């Protein structure tokens, strides 16, 4: 962690997004995406500082290599903000680096040569350091447990909450999955349709064609036929396919949104 250049903003040690990404061995965009997805968990002034206007100009003048010339805002992350990013990534590397950041980056205390202290002070310092580390670890574990409990609650809700207006809610869930996963909306639908056909041993295209034939024989208008023969409409018509597809959507939602 000694390789990271310390950034001091108004007496507060902070990290840039690039520094966090490099330290946690990930990409800046992933850090930004995690922040945007969990903005309600971050508090400005506590977890981050957003520089704009004159504050950004002054910071850019002192740190030209850190800020892009066309940037209109710039984020700096506090120690607590760095913790939330480690929590979002939830990798062994991120947690190990966060511990090192706490010990060697954010600790502003002057180095003390312990051997020069009296035996009593050496013992007191050792006990103090041990207690502080235990308290930080307990706090981190408590936050991890709270996050796990919330995830379990979200999964339970996702798996047990009845779906009302089926097509509307299914579309809404798939859009949420697309946002959280970063996978295109249409791509997720194609994947889910493929899983449905493999599981149910059916062809949605064939079911669409058969329904079109039936509706034409019944004298339905082209508009009505078009609306009623989409893949999602064909699935909704068949209770077995509907149940299978609903389970597929819920599974994706648990994986990406819980």
What is the model's pTM? Answer: 0.43
Three-state SS letters, the chain: CCCCCCEEECCEEEEEHHHHHHHCCCCHHHHHHHHHHCHHHCCECCCEEEECHHHHHHHHHHCCCCCCCCCCCEEEECHHHHHHHHHHHCCHHHHHHHHHHHHHHCCCCCCCCHHHCCHHHHHHHHHHHHHHHHHHHHHHHHHHHHHHHHHHHHHHHHHHCCCCCHHHHHHHHHHHHHHHHCCCHHHHHHHHHHHHHHHHCCCHHHHHHHHHHHHHHCCCCHHHHHHHCCHHHHHHHCHHHHHHHHHHHHHHHHHHHC
Domain boundaries along the sequence of the chain:
7-108, 113-161, 166-257
So what's the pLDDT on residue 239?
A: 93
Number of H helices and E strands in the chain, helices first, is 12, 4
So what's the pLDDT on residue 64?
A: 63
> Is 235 in contact with 248 (CB distance < 8 Å)?
no
pLDDT tens, N- to C-terminus, the chain (258 residues): 557 788 888 888 899 999 999 998 999 999 999 999 888 889 998 999 999 888 888 888 877 667 777 788 899 999 999 999 998 888 888 888 888 888 778 865 555 566 777 787 778 778 877 888 888 888 888 787 777 677 667 667 666 677 778 888 888 888 888 887 888 889 999 999 999 999 999 999 999 999 999 999 999 999 999 999 999 999 999 999 999 999 999 888 888 876
So what's the pLDDT on residue 150?
A: 73
């Amino acid at each position: 962690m000694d390789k990271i250049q310390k950034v001091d903003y108004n007496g507060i040690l902070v990290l840039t997004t690039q520094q966090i990404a490099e330290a946690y061995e990930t990409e800046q965009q992933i850090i930004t995406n995690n922040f945007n997805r969990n903005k309600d968990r971050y508090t400005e002034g506590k977890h981050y500082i957003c520089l704009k206007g004159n504050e950004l100009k002054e910071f850019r003048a002192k740190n030209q290599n850190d800020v892009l010339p066309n940037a209109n805002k710039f984020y700096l992350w506090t120690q607590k903000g760095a913790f939330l990013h480690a929590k979002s990534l939830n990798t062994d590397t991120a947690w190990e680096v966060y511990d090192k950041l706490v010990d060697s980056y954010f600790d502003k205390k002057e180095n003390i040569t312990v051997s020069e202290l009296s035996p009593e002070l050496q013992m007191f310092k050792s006990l103090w350091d041990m207690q502080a580390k235990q308290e930080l670890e307990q706090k981190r574990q408590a936050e991890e447990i709270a996050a796990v409990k919330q995830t379990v609650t979200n999964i339970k809700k996702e798996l047990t909450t009845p779906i009302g207006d089926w097509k509307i809610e299914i579309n809404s869930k798939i859009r949420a999955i697309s946002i959280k996963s970063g996978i295109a909306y249409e791509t997720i639908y194609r994947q889910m349709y493929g899983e449905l056909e493999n599981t149910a041993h059916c062809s949605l295209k064939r079911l669409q064609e058969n329904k079109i034939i039936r509706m034409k024989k019944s004298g339905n208008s082209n508009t009505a036929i078009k609306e009623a023969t989409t893949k999602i409409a064909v699935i909704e018509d068949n209770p077995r396919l509907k149940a299978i597809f609903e389970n597929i959507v819920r599974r994706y939602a648990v994986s990406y949104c819980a």
